[in-house]
Structure 1
Amino acid sequence: MKAEKIIVPANGYLMLTVNLLLFFGSIAAMIMLESPFFVIATISALVIAPGFIMVQPNGSRVLLLFGEYVGSVKQNGFYWVNPFYTKKKISLRASNFDSERLKVNDKLGNPIMISTILVWRVKNTYKAAFDVDNYNDFVHVQTDAAVRKLASMYPYDNFADEGLDEDITLRSSVNEVSEALEKEIDERLTIAGIEVLEARIGYLAYANEIANAMLKRQQATAIVAARHKIVEGAVSMVEMALDELSKKQIVHLDDERKAAMVSNLMVILCGDKEASPVLNTGTLSH
């Protein structure tokens, strides 16, 4: 496999001057001297004309001579090359690709919708021109394949009821997932001489058929977690209240009254609604 060869062709302005002098000078000579031999010079000027090329900033031209790779011109400017060269234009500018939303399964088998945003550019013009059929299509297909593979490697989210304790998930580990995606795509596009500048998840959600169920599941998980925190706090507050009453000897509570106090405090602290006070004018037992 050949490597990329960078060349700098002849100055286009100098050759343009020579070509114009040759063309108009030969015509003037034919008129003045009435000699047909200057027709050859005129034809030569016309043959030279297709050799002029202009390379814009962040652009390139890949040159071929009857199917043989000659080199690539990457430096912007106005040049002249062999007029028999085949000139293939390849842009070196950064391109942005927003993939379609793909329906894939995550690590747990849940169907999700995912898309990626890719920023890339051509780094090796020889590979982009000759190692793949169409490098633009190659980028699109390989990016989709990389996204499918990435989605199967990580779960969408962690769920305690499944005993899953993943450090990296698609939803929460944005930086880690983006790095893994960028590495995967870069490995696939190296064959086409493509450099990956940035790759990240553009869209991520559960598929429509399970979206509602997963939303309820997430809400239930959040409610359970909140209740767990509330109970922990309530137990701590009840314990603190009993300790303070005991230390300051405000009131002496037997086991029955402690149990009643704990029950009342837990109901008040863990309840969804505000407690309604009840005035007891009798004893604790009545």
Structure 2
Amino acid sequence: MPESHSAMTRSRERSGSAYNGYVMLAVLAALTVFVIYLIFNAIPADGASRFEKIMFVGTLALGVLSGVLVSIGFFMIQPNQAAVITLFGEYRGTVRKEGLQWVWPWMMKQKISARAHNIHSEKVKINDLRGNPIEVACNVVWRVADTAQAVFDVDDYKEFVNIQIEAGLRTVGARHPYDDMSDEDETTLRGSADVVNNELRVELNERLQVAGIIVDEAGLTHLAYAPEIAGAMLRRQQADAVIAARKKVVIGAVGMVEDALAKLSNDGVVDLDDERRAAMVSNLMVVLCGDREAQPVVNAGTLYQ
């Protein structure tokens, strides 16, 4: 049977060592002065021996080579910036100390920004929990927390972030409906922004953990039905609004009618039988719930004529 592949070894950031760049800058200046001195004051005379000439050339070459090697090792670290140090492919630590730094010239230096990055995603077309096509987009604030993971555990951590943002947005968007179409109090994309944004941030942190990335903020910036159903859903929302308004009017009218009948009965203004009570209820409901003003009819006789 073939041997199974072992799981990927996760990198962990550790502190790297670097020398004070200003001290090494003084060493470079001393080497420069030494080379200049050799050129202008230590050139062998015409009658010098071959050994003296070889020593001069060797010393001059060594001074120039030392100056070149020293100058290669300089690098600058700005605030919220780091440099990943490797030696022949082996991770030797991360330098986060600000200012001018110096390492041996055969060590490779890769600078990484640890500052906050802001990404506004493209509009993504997905299906919500009920299968309705919708368009969503989000804004994400992220930063590199572990430089070793960002450099060694993923191929391109910035591209990795962009892809995972889209994947996380699709996952969270499919968990909830766009809007609440029932009487149940459920989480919706439109009505529960805080809950959805928090879910998106948690989802992205889980996905980007392998790259040493931390998401500080995440939130939806665009939410709409897809164009092919936008018109139908707008009419449905309008109908829901009309029904809700009608329901409120009817409930209020019923309460007003109950109060009116109770007041008439308690004060002894008029004594109505069931038939006349039903007629009065009907008339009052028409007056209170109608879209137009009711036209009164004056009864010149009695209630029973």
TM superposition score normalised by structure 1: 0.95
In the alignment, residue 103 of structure 1 is paired with which amino acid?
K
Q: Is the 8 A contact 1:105 1:152 kept in 2?
A: yes
Q: What displacement does 1:63 show? A: 1.2
| Alignment match of 1:38 (pick from 60, 67, 90) | 60
Which segment drifts farther, 60-69 or 242-251? 60-69
What is the letter of the counterpart of residue 71 of structure 1? G
Instruction: Please tell me whether residue 29 in structure 1 is matched to residue 38 in structure 2.
Output: yes
- Equivalences, count: 283
Does residue 64 of structure 1 match 2:89? no
Aligned with 1:191 (options 210, 223, 232): 210
| 1:170 and 2:189 correspond | yes
Is residue 2:17 matched to residue 1:17?
no
Q: What CA deviation, in whole Å up to 9, does each residue of 1:33-66 have, x standing for no partner?
A: 1132233112211121010000010111111122
User: Equivalents in 2 of 1:56, 1:8: separation in Å?
Assistant: 16
| Deviation by residue 1:7-34 (Cα, 9 ceiling, x = unmatched) | 2411101100111111222221232111
For residue 208 of structure 1, the aligned residue among 227, 231, 234 is 227
Q: Is 22-31 or 109-118 further displaced after alignment?
A: 22-31
Q: CA RMSD in A?
A: 1.4
| Match among 121, 128, 138 for residue 143 of structure 2 | 121
SS of residue in 2 equivalent to 1:230? helix
Q: CA deviation at 1:285?
A: 5.6
Residue segments in structure 1 that go unaligned for 5+ positions in a row:
none
2:179 paired residue number? 157
CA displacement, residues 142-167 of structure 1 (integer Å, 9 cap, x when unaligned): 1101111111111111113xxx7352
- Following superposition, the deviation at residue 276 of structure 1 comes to 2.5
CA distance in 1, matches of 2:89, 2:187: 49
Separation in 1, partners of 2:97, 2:27: 23
Write the distance in 2 (CA, Å) between the matches of 1:96 and 1:276. 64
8 Å CA contact retained: 1:27, 1:42: no
Contact 2:138 2:221 in 1 (8 A): yes
Q: Provide the residue aligned with 2:100 in structure 1.
A: 78
More moved, 191-200 vs 251-260:
251-260
Query: How far apart are 1:277 and its partner, in Å?
Result: 2.5
**Partner in structure 1 of residue 72 of structure 2:** 50
Distance (Å, rounded) in 1 between the aligned partners of 2:299 and 2:63: 122
- State the SS of the aligned residue for 1:133: coil
Aligned residue for 1:201, secondary structure, equals: strand
Any idea what the Cα deviations from partners look like across 1:254-277, whole Å, max 9, x if unmatched?
Answer: 223212211110001111122232
Q: CA deviation at 1:279?
A: 2.8
In the alignment, which of 76, 94, 112 is matched to residue 90 of structure 1? 112
Counterpart contact for 2:84–2:147, Cα < 8 Å:
yes
1:215-230 to 2 correspondences below 5 Å: 215-230=234-249
Query: After the TM superposition, which residues 243-282 of structure 1 pair with which residues of structure 2 at under 5 Å, given as runs?
Result: 243-282=262-301
Q: Of 145, 148, 162, which residue of structure 1 is paired with 2:170? A: 148
The secondary structure found in structure 1 opposite 2:68 is helix
Corresponding residue SS for 1:62: strand
Matched to 1:245, the amino acid is L
Is contact 2:76–2:98 with CA below 8 Å preserved after alignment? yes
Secondary structure of the corresponding residue to residue 153 of structure 1:
coil
Percent of aligned pairs with the same amino acid: 48
1:283 Cα deviation from its structure 2 partner: 4.2
User: 2:200 matched to 1:181?
Assistant: yes
